[in-house]
Amino acid sequence: MWNEKKSPPADRGQFVAVIIFVLGLGTLLPWNFFMTASQYFNQRLAATPNGSSNGTSDGSTKDYNYDSWMALLSQLPLLMFTLLNSFLYQLVRERLRVAFSLIFILLFFCITAALVQVPMQPDTFFSVTMATIWFINMCSAVLQGSLFGLVGLFPPRYSTLFMSGQGLAGIFAALAMLCSILSNAGKSSAALGYFITPCVATLVTLLCYLLLPKLEFASFYLNRSHSENVETSQELSSITDKKVLNNKDLEAKGQFIGTLEENQERSSVLNVFKKIWLMAACVTCLFAVTLSVFPVITVRVQTVYKDNAAWDKVFTCICCFLVFNVMDFVGRFVPSLIQWPSKESRLFPAAVLLRLVFIPLFMMCNIPNSRLPVLFSHDCAFVAIMALFAFSNGYLASLCMAYAPQLVRCKDCETAGSLMSFFLVLGLALGASLSFLLGKLV
């Protein structure tokens, strides 16, 4: 019968869950590796190829403002191409979009790794690096939008796993940088090893994606929409071929056919947006706040234990990047255990708006030569603020991405996922733009 539902097969060995987790990891690797390598890029931009200081004509060091430009030139292509992907995703097969995006990301990471050993003038190195960041994030936008749409076809738990994988990308990058700092290798060798790591991780992500459709559990959900359309068409033809006995049968048949035809059609992008607009606004606000201060403001915070050279060397990597990414990962994982507030609760948007308080809190941490008073000078205060900031980011963002597909029909889940991806990146772009202003205030 047309109304009978096939029960999904079991996710044996949780292989699909692991692959979805790895795909989430792969989508944020480019952003996290370029962000966490802030010290490496700033050091190369501060020195000429012969090792001397890169100064201007008046004797001061030229400020390339790498962190703000990196954030902005990461998010602008993400915004543009995520928007494009939201409207044109039906024109190019998802398999081609994802596969070619990962291949190009791998290529650009290889170029970045190769440039570690190539002496370059700071202006040239800055231009090449910014161009690489732009193009690599073009590919990331298509990849992320496509995978959010793909994950939207699975049960809500898999959206949470995907978001948790994205959280692990930051931990992965922070640990790689920490190993690079603590290694006995030279700066060039350590940086080379650091950038080879995402090359290997991107290749593993590509192989996992190619394996996904071959698993029975994934195949059921990936092909469900197509199968339902075929079954509905067959049932529609069968009913149309039957004789009409009376007017009541004719009316019932007409209503049934109308319902089937309606269920076959996907809603427009605008209609889907009307159903998920609150979740879209929340995810935009979340990431606008996050990127307005992280990493542009947070990397300027310094330890009070300046006399401890070893701790001073790893302070930013551990207390800024590692703490943020660990707590963000924990925040993204918790919704798989508990989801509160609910998607209907007014507390949910209130909690999102409450995160605005983190902007002045970070600006009043121990930042040398700051124009604002330092109220939180101790390292522990900075770590506590960072932990709450990161956990709330991961937890609330994960809820947003899990709630949105629940507000639309099954056939519109992919559209909802792609739209949410666009508004996520819109928040990042707004935050990156705001970071220039906040950077001038401290």
What would the pLDDT profile of 401-433 be if each residue is shown by its tens digit? 889 989 998 888 878 887 887 788 789 889 989
Q: Is position 385 within any domain?
A: yes
Q: Is position 103 within any domain?
A: yes
Q: Using an 8 Å Cβ cutoff, are 338 and 400 in contact? A: no
Q: Is position 369 within any domain?
A: yes
Q: How large a percentage of the chain has pLDDT more than 70?
A: 85
**Range of 201's domain?**
12-219+269-441
Looking up residue 376, the CATH number of its domain turns out to be 1.20.1250.20
DSSP 3-state of 303: coil
Q: Is position 261 within any domain?
A: no
What would the pLDDT profile of 127-157 be if each residue is shown by its tens digit? 999 999 999 988 988 888 788 888 888 887 8
Q: Is position 238 within any domain?
A: no
pLDDT of residue 227: 55
Q: Using an 8 Å Cβ cutoff, are 387 and 327 in contact? A: yes
What would the pLDDT profile of 39-92 be if each residue is shown by its tens digit? 889 888 887 665 555 655 555 567 788 888 888 888 888 788 877 766 666 677
Tell whether omega for the bond before 341 is within 30 degrees of 0, i.e. cis: yes
Spell out the residues 6+ positions from residue 216 whose beta carbon is closer than 8 angstroms to its own: 9, 12
Q: Is position 77 within any domain?
A: yes
Spell out the residues 6+ positions from residue 11 whose beta carbon is closer than 8 angstroms to its own: 17, 217
pTM: 0.77
Q: Using an 8 Å Cβ cutoff, are 137 and 78 in contact? A: yes
If one counts the domains in the chain, the total is 1
Q: Is position 6 within any domain?
A: no
Tell whether omega for the bond before 8 is within 30 degrees of 0, i.e. cis: no
pLDDT of residue 55: 55
Q: Using an 8 Å Cβ cutoff, are 121 and 211 in contact? A: no
DSSP E strand boundaries for 315-418: none
Residues of the chain predicted below pLDDT 70 = 1-6, 48-61, 85-90, 184-185, 225-264
| Cα angle: 30, vertex 61, 429; to 5 degrees | 35
pLDDT of residue 298: 95
- Helix, strand, coil % in the chain, rounded to nearest 5: 75, 0, 20
Q: Is position 259 within any domain?
A: no
How many CB atoms are located within 10 Å of the residue 221 CB? 20
CA 57 to chain centre: 41
